[in-house]
Structure 1
Amino acid sequence: MTMQRLLFLRIGIIGSLLGATLTSLQAQNTPAAVSPGAGTTVPNPQKLGLQQSIDVALQNNLTIRQSQIQLQGSELQLRQSKLNRLPNVGGFASQNFSSGFNVNPVTNAFVERSILSNNFQLNSQVTLYNGMALQNTIRQNDLLRQSNQQALGATQNNVILTVVQNYLNVLTAQEQFVVAQRQAEVSRAQLDRTQRLVNAGSVAESNLFDIRAQIANDELAIVNAQNNIDVAKVALLQAMNVPINGVVGTFEVEPIPVPDPAFDNYGATTQQVYETAQGFLPDVKAADLRVQSDALGVKVARASLQPTLTLNAGVSTIYSNFGQQRRIADGTTIQIPQTIVFNGVPQQIFLTQDGFRTEDYTFTEQLRNNMNRSVALNLQIPIYNRSQVRNRIINATLQQQNSEVAAANARLQLRQQIETAYTNLRAGANRYRATQVQVEQLDLAFKAAESRFNAGALNSTDYNIAKTNLDRARASLVQAKYDYVFRTKILDFYQNKPLTF
């Protein structure tokens, strides 16, 4: 697992804290995930943890699979560019038949008969020099592979953050559900108290109608909160690329409580965080590697202006059914008359020589006897090619410029994200402090209202309002607390810091 992925896993764990609630839920063991096939892992837990959600999403995400395939393609391209330095070897074989007036391919003699012939060739070629195109192509493809590898890490990070966000939405919806239940419990308790007061003649019966209406509103809020939980769970399963199949209501997500934050000044400036982050984030590294790769692409295009020197070697041979013949002595002799002039007088003599017969060379013998070997150095000098090379150089230069702009944009987005994280950190601290004060004051107000309500000096509606305001403020305090912790860990992530509390 890469360092970038580990860092995003860390920040993902902290992200879940943003929606965590102070109300403890009964945790159950998580069974192992099961796979129904088709390459998709489907969890079937009683309680789903953030780490399990991330693992399933990374395994099932189709965009990640596409990035992995693209990485494999770049690795294959790099391997092929290295193999291009080796000589290529090719073979050729043919069998021909012709009749009538022909040329014997072995003897080059004109004959008038049917000829059956074979031709065999073995050729090899290796590039000795082509303007460093082979070497620069290897370096270019290696940088492209590294860029795709970093891009895969960036894609995994995006998937992780998407899962964390949806996991957070489930926790937030669950917290809202708890708040809605509290409000309904307060309303029902008030209904009992009001009923007793009405029976005692202390308050008017119309107060019961107000309480019942409030209970109806609270029940509707509970239904809406449950619906929000279901919708958030659906989004989480979709982020994990897992079919719903009726499992939305059969699992819960695990909250992760943390201590109250300490509001110390953050130990680094935005510039310091930015300088650290751009050194290890995969998005920036992928963009920089693509710029370097495209710069080598310009050199590869310029190499086409240089001469190309190649070494060629070949071996060939032929066979013909009417090829060369050999003479073989048959054990007989023949007398051949000859006329010579001796002292001006012609005289006839007889020469004796061995008799012979003719025989065709065999297939193997012809192949061996007709063997031809060749070695050649070829120098190709480009003179004019309708400006094709010049246009390729211009196109490669434009590609490099486009990559440079993309790299600059990646750094710009990183700087803006860090600046936003800093602003959110300050805003989160201010919101938490203000909410703390709000909870303290509303708690005092509720205690006073409770005392007055028990004494019969306050109606149930005002008591319910005081209690509801306190519950909502406490829920907001929880949200503000985890929001501040999350923003802090975001900045820690940009500095490659380990997870600490």
Structure 2
Amino acid sequence: MIFKFSIALYFATTLFLFAQTEERTPHTLKECINLAIENNLDLKTTRLSKETRDVNFKQSKNALLPNINGSYNLGITNGRSIDPFTNGIVNQELTFSNAGLGLDAVVFNGFRLLNSWKQAKLNLESAEMEVEAAKQSVILNVTLTYLQVLNAQDLVKLAESRLKTTQGQLDRLKSLYEEETGNPAEYRDLQGQLAEDASNIAESKNTLETELINLNTLVNTEEAITVAPLNVQLNFEGYNYTAQEIYEKALQVFPTVKASDLSLEAAKKGIAVARSQYIPEVSLFANLNTNYSSAARLFNETGRSIVETGDFVTINNQDYSVFTEESNFTSDKIPYRDQFDNNLNSSIGISVNVPIFNGFRAKNNMALEKIKKEEAQTALTQTKLDLQQSIKQSYSAMQTAFQRYNLLQDQVKAYKESFRINEIRFNNGVSNSVDYIISKNNLDNAQTNLANVKYEYALRVKVLEYYRGNI
């Protein structure tokens, strides 16, 4: 039953994983990296943040330009109002219109606009470094996951090789068992070992599937992918740089350090911006205005006439009416365009805004900007400290993996020879199945450990090269 179950488990796992991976297209490491750079969601989020700072930078740069604004209105009033043409009081329906053009240019405000522009520029450069850091992080994670997939593939091959070896021995003992000439306990021991080997294959394939899922998540494409075999050359000649050399190089090229350094410089500019609130602001202004009124009239003389004044004079006790000569006029509406041309007026001047008291807002803003500067300084120091610690840990793990790789090579060589001898002795009936299984498991475990440490060393080297800016 154990034997049948192990075989069923092996084939069921194989069929299941084949169904999961049969539609995957093999991709090289470079192809996976390119897809991840294009599709990774974390990287997209960082890029959007950079685009926001880009807009802020353009806005702060455009703030250096003068403000020019135009206005226009058209309306109707009823009842008692002021005629915008004559400034007289009228009591009628009145159509009015006004138009204006104004310019406002800051001449000096303590370099607030200039420092705000420089601060936004530094923030933009910091965001660009953050995008580069996110990009390199994606490349590193894809590379590490890719290597882990290769490692998992090697472990699957080792597990399948073990099963094949055990199956061969079991087939040899089966004929002896059926002829009742061999030791039945040894046959049962090999059946149990076969079940364990089949279980190891299932576990190894599950690990491979997990790593492939991780890789597909990083790449973030609708197409299910797997890795192309033998795509990465592993070098085991030793690493040529010390941890201190790596750290010094990282301080120069590592984008996270650059981003933190630029954020500190931006915070310093923030202090200069806040300090400008203590300084008077000098501005130039200019305005051009005109208006229209439907009550406006143009009077044209049409002739002269004699009219009674209503007064009289008495001559010899007889009253005589008084007449006078006056001009006659016709009232015409003034056209809209003519009024706009005739009513033009302009002004130009300079204004000075002197800060005297603003509820300590300038003082508090200055204090807040100083705190932000200290926060940026602390963040930079923490970034360098974390970087140095990570490099030391990775370097130590790399050295350990390198030493273990060399030691495990000798161990695998020794266990191979031991297994070869024990296999011959077992086949000739000199030793029992227990010794054979122990020798086989020793070799299997040593080969598994060697495969793991081989990729562990490669992973650590990739991490150190990432810190050196060689991703």
TM-score range, shorter chain: 0.7 to 0.9
Amino acid of the structure 1 residue aligned with 2:94 = I
In 2, distance between residues paired with 1:361 and 1:260? 93
CA offset at residue 198 of structure 1? 4.8
Q: 1:120 to 1:228 in 2, by over 3 A?
A: same
- Alignment partner of 1:135 is 2:110: no
2:140 maps to 1:165: no
Q: Does 1:144 align with 2:117?
A: no
Matched, 1:286 2:265: no
Asked if residue 209 in structure 1 is aligned to residue 209 in structure 2, the reply is: no
Residue segments in structure 2 that go unaligned for 5+ positions in a row: 1-21, 309-322
Whole-angstrom distance in 2 between the partners of 1:151 and 1:496: 14
SS of match in other structure, 1:278: helix
Give the corresponding residue for 1:254: 229
1:385, CA displacement in angstroms? 0.5
Preserved contact between residue 170 and residue 253 of structure 1 (Cα < 8 Å): no
Residue by residue, what CA displacement relative to the aligned partner does 1:181-234 show, whole Å, maximum 9, x if unpaired?
122112111113323555777642222111112112222222222222222222
Q: Does 1:233 align with 2:212?
A: yes
Q: Distance in 2 between matches of 1:66 and 1:226?
A: 33
Query: Structure 1 stretch 211-220 or stretch 108-117: which is displaced more?
Result: 108-117
Report the equivalent of 2:438: 465
Residue equivalent to 1:371: 344
Letter aligned with residue 467 of structure 2: Y
Q: Match for residue 14 of structure 1? A: none
- The answer on whether the counterparts of 1:442 and 1:466 sit within 8 Å (CA) in structure 2 is yes
Q: Which of residues 32, 48, 56 in structure 1 aligns to 2:35?
A: 56
Alignment partners' CA distance in 2, 1:295 and 1:316: 43
Q: Distance in 1 between matches of 2:295 and 2:219?
A: 75
Identify the residue that residue 318 of structure 1 maps to in structure 2. 291
CA distance change for structure 1 residues 479 and 113 in 2, over 3 Å: closer, same or farther? closer
Matched with 2:5 is none
2:408 is aligned with 1:435: yes
CA, structure 1 residues 175+446, in 2 after alignment: closer, same or farther (shift >3 Å)? same
- Residues 154 and 451 of structure 2 are in contact (CA less than 8 Å); yes or no, is this contact kept in structure 1? no
Q: Displacement, 1:253?
A: 4.5
TM-score normalised by length of structure 1:
0.79
Asked whether the 8 Å contact 1:127–1:311 carries over to 2, the reply is yes
* Partner Cα separation in structure 1 for residue 454 and residue 333 of structure 2: 101
How far apart, CA to CA, are the structure 2 residues paired with 1:497 and 1:237?
Answer: 24
Instruction: Give the distance between the partners of 1:166 and 1:63, measured in 2 at CA.
Output: 16
Alpha-carbon distance, 1:91 to partner:
1.9
Q: Give, in whole Å, the separation in 2 of the partners of 1:273 and 1:135.
A: 38
Gaps of 5+ in 1: 1-42, 338-349
Q: Within the alignment, does 1:494 sit opposite 2:463 as a pair?
A: no
Compared with structure 1, are the counterparts of its residues 177 and 99 closer, same or farther at alpha carbon in structure 2 (3 Å cutoff)?
A: closer
Change (3 A) 1:272 1:461: same
How far residue 454 of structure 1 moved from its aligned partner, in angstroms, is 3.7
Do the aligned partners of 2:234 and 2:458 also contact (CA within 8 Å) in 1? no
RMSD: 2.9
Change (3 A) 1:235 1:149: same
Fraction of identical pairs, as percent: 28
Whether 1:362 and 2:335 are equivalent positions in the alignment is yes
Q: Which amino acid aligns with 2:112?
A: A
Equivalent residues of 1:291, 1:403 under 8 A apart: yes
CA offset digits 1:72-124 (Å, max 9, x no partner): 11111111111111121222222343344443322223444433222221111
Give the secondary structure class of the aligned counterpart of 1:384: coil
Which amino acid is the alignment partner of residue 251 of structure 2?
Q
| Alignment partner, residue 7 of structure 2 | none
- List per-residue Cα deviations over 1:263-320 (Å, max 9, x = no partner): 4xx4443222211111111111111111111110111111111111111111111111
Q: Deviation digits for residues 378-435 of structure 1, max 9, x if unmatched?
A: 1000000101111111111111111111111111111011111221122122201211
